[in-house]
Every structure is written in C-alpha cells, then in structure tokens.
Amino acid sequence: MACPDVKERPLKIYFIPFLAAGHIIPLSDIARLFASHGHNVTIITTPSNAKILHRSISTNFHVHTIQFPFQEVGLPHGIENLSDATDLANLGKVFEATKLLQGHMEHFVEQHPPDCVVADFLYPWVHDLANQLGIPRLAFNGFPLFAVCAMEALKQHPISAAASSHSYIIPGFPHHITMNAAPPKQIMEALQPLLDLELKSFGLIVNNFEELDGQEYIKHYEKTSGHKAWHLGPASFVRETTLDKAERGINSVVSVHECLSWLDSKRDNSVLYICFGSLCQFPDNQLHEIACGIEASGHGFIWVVPEKKGKEDESDEAKEKWLPKGFEERNKMKGMIIRGWAPQVLILDHPAVGAFLTHCGWNSTVEAVSAGVPMITWPVHGEQFFNEKLITEVRRIGVELGAGEWSPMGFGERKKLICREQIEKAVRRLMDGGDEAQEIKQRAQEFGKKAREAVQQGGSSHNNLTALIDELKRLRDSN
Ligand code: UDP
C-alpha cells in the first residue's frame, strides 16, 4: 500500500546495528518505523543475526547479509553476537569479528550508496564512509539521552580516582544526582572517542521519547554538545500483534500461550518479573540469593535465568547448583523460571505484572515504562547506573535495590554479593502495597500513557520522525 508520507521518491536508508541483541532489536524496530512511512530500508548484518529479523520483512524492508568470520577469529558456529558469548574470551572474539566485517560492509555500501546511513556508534568507520559518499550519517548507541549527558559531563569534568571510590555528584547537571558507583576507567576510555565521533554525525537517534528524557536534558545536550538528538521511541510499539511482539529477538524458550495463560491465572499486579537482559550472567552464589530473596518476599514471579551451558556430561542438577533444594516444588503455583529467552514485551504488557526487577538495560527500561510497570533497579554494567538514576530519582518510577558494583561487562568475577535480605526488602517495598508503592505505580502508569501518546499521530516521537524524514529528503534533494 502506498504510504501517504511518500509524496515523492522514498528515501533509501541503510541501518548497521552492532551484533548484540540489545542493539539489533531496537535499531531494527527503528528501521521498521521508517519503512512504515514508506521508505526503503536495508539492515546490514550477518546470517544468524538476520534470522532475528526474519518476521520483520516487508516489501520495503530488506536485509543484506555478510558472512560472519568464524574461522578467522576462532569462534564456533552459532556464536555470532555478544549475547551468544558466555565468557570473556568469546566476547573478545565477537568484537574482533565485527572489525573484520568492516571491509565487506563498506564494499556493499559503496556499490549501492543510500541517501543516509544509520549506524551503531561501535562502528566508528562509518563516519569516514559517509563523508566519502557525501551522505548524512545518523548515530545510534542504545542509551537514553540522560545517560549520554552524564557521560559527556564526566568527560568534560573527569572525577578523580579518589572521588570515584566514594560517592560523587554528576557535574553541571540539571538535577543534583549523587552516584555511588563510577564507570570502570577502561570502559570510559574506550567509549569516549566513540562518543566524540558520534557528535560529528548528522544527529543521534534515541530509542526514547522526549517526555521521559525531559526537555531539561534535551536542552542540556544541545547546549553542551551543539548536537541534535532525535527521540523516535519507544520503538517496540512498532510491533502491534502478539506474534510480532513474541518474535522480537531470539525465539522464546516457553510458548507464548503457556506464559500468557499462566499470567492470566494471576491477580493484577501480583507478579514480579525478573530479567537481566541479554548479556548479564550472575554467578551461582548470586542466583542463589535471588532465589532466597524472592521466595522470602512471598510474591509471585517470572524469573528469566540465562541457560547455563555446563559440561556435556553434567546433570541438570549439577548445572543448577544455585537453585535452593525444593524451590520449584514449593513455588509451583507462585512462580515460573524461564531458562533462556522470554517474550519480555508481552510479559511486561500483562496486567498481572506489578513490578520489574531489572538491570536497567535501556531497552528493558523503556519497555517497562511503555507498559506502565514500576521498576526495582539493579544496574550491572554499561550505562545502566545512569539509567537507574533517571528511573528512581528523576522520574521516580522505581526503587533502587542498592547495587554499587559497576562491572566492566555483564559477567565475570564480582566482588560484592547482593544478599537475599536486600532483595526481599526492595521487592516488598514495591509489591507489598502502601502509599509510596502506590505513588510510584501511578507515576509509572502516567509515563506509560505518555509513551503511547508519543508514537501516535501528533505525539512527540511521531512528529520527530516526520521532521527527520523531511530533513533527510531536503538534504538528498539539495544535492
Ligand atoms: N529480551 C527478551 N527476552 C529475554 C531477555 C531480553 O526479549 O529473555 C530483550 C528485551 O526485551 C530487550 C533486549 O532483549 O529488548 C535487551 O536489551 P537491554 O538494553 O534491556 O539489555 P542488554 O541485553 O543490552 O543488556
């Protein structure tokens, strides 16, 4: 069907997402937004990552695949993105492989130049490529603007090593935000040149809506960086049907029917949803504390635990040493453990879900906000500690669990154990009822309403998308 927005020639836009579920999912949903306005989009990725996108394909939504260099980096077949890697060595190899993709990707783009390229900031080489072709580049990093502003602030006013071991205030910020954890030095050093290069792009695409980041941070960003951010989200709303939402990302290990009918049998707001995204893997002693904490809270739960790839001859029991004896028997009526990938957006959308214990990955956060679900925050790595502050202190739609250890990655050694009492206390704070919990829930629902309005005709994200498309057409046609 011809789309009313495309009065003239549609735009041809390439999207190059980084190879991690938390980057591919939102960027491909954003690509679909452009496609839904009648423009021709192509996602450039590798074969197994292309399978994640399979359902998204429509006549103006294309996927161009480039072979993943398994042999060159020494990875077994099947590990083709960061979310598949379960140890640091493989994680490093996936990064290595993404570098090897550069030449092939460049070749494809040069041979069939688009009107615009939208690329993950982890692909800095797209900057030169876009310049050489004389086309605009839009950057994407998967963070909310609030976190980008926080990182920029720390770049401009670095905190001393001494201060970073205590609490510190984010310098020059619209709100007085006290941080209890500092990003690992090596992560900031790796990110800073990429963030600098991002500022040289035509604009930054943000999977958020203006009302959640807030005008104060949009203005702060424009003023301190001189750069333009385009809030186009929440992108997950582009998926409307249950099937489409269920097949977002990797196929779920539980049937959607089983999951939803289990939730249907529960009272509204009675179930805690627990998931730490696609990368985070806690050690056994931490999983054990989570199990004890949620059981002690007495609340119903759905808990997503990444599948453990133990030794082949290891029994299921040995692989799951962390599970307290008799846990599943005792909690048969109350709880469900999903070992592997869950249909997260559908779960969050269900009225039985009363709160979300989250690692504050930005996609998970904005999905919870879209569903009006308040959060219990347990950040682990990346920009998640900044996201936590936006949720708990700025918008006050969640409570902090009290995590203070900023890991370099989502897995590996951890110094601190979050104990069961801390987990139980935070769950009760939001799930036991009471005035504070009520107020937080109400605010979360108001933001859920604002999120839905943002993507509708006349809403902030809808308007931004139309303005960005107009701007890109103007640029193309002026050349
Ligand atoms: N996700 C999911 N099922 C799972 C785990 C994750 O659908 O069992 C999706 C989730 O909905 C989100 C993405 O994977 O869209 C994770 O992104 P996020 O930014 O929250 O965290 P990351 O994985 O990047 O740490």
Interface confidence, given as ipTM, is: 0.99
- At 308 the pLDDT is 66
What is the Cα–Cα distance from 53 to 97, expressed in whole angstroms?
Answer: 20
Q: Is 112 a catalytic residue?
A: no
Helix (H) or strand (E) holding 119: strand 116-120
Which pLDDT tens digit goes with each residue over 218-230?
999 999 999 999 9
Round the average pLDDT of the chain to a whole number and report it. Answer: 92
**Which atom of ligand 1 lies closest to the CA of 341?**
8
The answer to whether the CB of 306 falls within 8 A of the CB of 380 is no
pTM of the model: 0.95
| C-alpha 209 – ligand 1 centre gap (Å) | 18
Q: What is the pLDDT of residues 235-265, one digit of tens each?
A: 999 999 888 888 777 777 888 999 999 999 9
Residue 162 confidence (pLDDT):
60
User: Which atom from ligand 1 is nearest to the alpha carbon of 364?
Assistant: 20
For ligand 1, whether the C-beta of 364 sits within 6 Å is: yes
Is residue 1 scored above 50 in pLDDT? no
Cβ of 367 below 6 Å from ligand 1: yes
**CA distances in angstroms from 112 to 8, 43, 133, listed in the order given:** 20, 13, 11
Candidates 84, 115, 120, 213; catalytic one:
120
Contact 187, 131 (CB under 8 A): no
CB of 370 sitting under 6 A from ligand 1: no
Expressed in angstroms and rounded, the spacing between residue 342 Cα and the centre of ligand 1 is 9
Determine the Cα–Cα distance for residues 10 and 38; give it in Å rounded to an integer: 7
Pocket test for ligand 1, best of 245, 363, 377 (most atoms within 8 A of CB): 363
pLDDT tops 60 at residue 403: yes
Q: Is the pLDDT of residue 479 over 60?
A: yes
Is 23 an annotated catalytic residue? yes
| Residue 331 Cβ contacting ligand 1 at under 6 Å | no
Q: Residue 265: which residues within 8 A CB-CB, separation 6 or more?
A: none
d(CA 390, CA 120): 23
Q: Which of 19, 344, 347, 409 to mutate to test the pocket of ligand 1 (most atoms within 8 A of CB)?
A: 344
Distance 161 CA to ligand 1 centre (A): 32
Whether the CB of 154 sits within 6 Å of ligand 1: no
> Nearest 5 degrees, angle CA 376-CA 382-CA 384?
20
Atom of ligand 1 nearest to the CA of 23: 24
Q: Whose CA is nearest to atom 23 of ligand 1?
A: 278
Mean pLDDT of 204-229: 97
Task: Out of 273, 278, 302, 359, give the residue to mutate to test ligand 1, the one with the largest number of ligand atoms within 8 Å of its CB.
Answer: 278
**Is residue 63 within 8 Å of residue 57, measured between CB atoms?**
yes
Mutate which of 19, 239, 364 for ligand 1 pocket (most atoms within 8 A of beta carbon): 364
User: 367-395: per-residue pLDDT in tens?
Assistant: 999 999 999 999 999 999 999 999 999 99
Q: Decide whether any atom of ligand 1 lies within 6 Å of the 21 Cβ.
A: yes
Nearest protein Cα to ligand 1, atom 5: 277
Residue 409: both structure tokens together: 């990655």
Q: How many helices (H) and strands (E) does the chain have?
A: 21, 15
Reference 37, options 468, 477, 479; nearest CA is 468
Tell how far the Cα of 6 is from the centroid of ligand 1, in angstroms.
Answer: 33
Query: Using CA atoms, how far apart are residues 95 and 23, in angstroms rounded to an integer?
Result: 14
- DSSP designation for 147: H
- Please give the helix or strand (H or E) that residue 300 lies within, else none: strand 300-305
Residue 471 has pLDDT above 90, yes or no: yes
Q: Residue 230 and residue 384: Cα distance in Å, rounded?
A: 21
Question: 362 alpha carbon to ligand 1 midpoint, in Å?
Answer: 9
Q: Which of 23, 299, 350, 359 is catalytic?
A: 23
Question: What is the residue with the minimal CA distance to atom 2 of ligand 1?
Answer: 344
Cα of 369 to ligand 1 centre, how many Å? 14
Query: Is residue 304 in contact with ligand 1, taking CB distance under 6 Å?
Result: yes
Rounded CA separation 189/446 (Å): 38
pLDDT-based confidence at residue 314 (cuts at 50, 70, 90): low
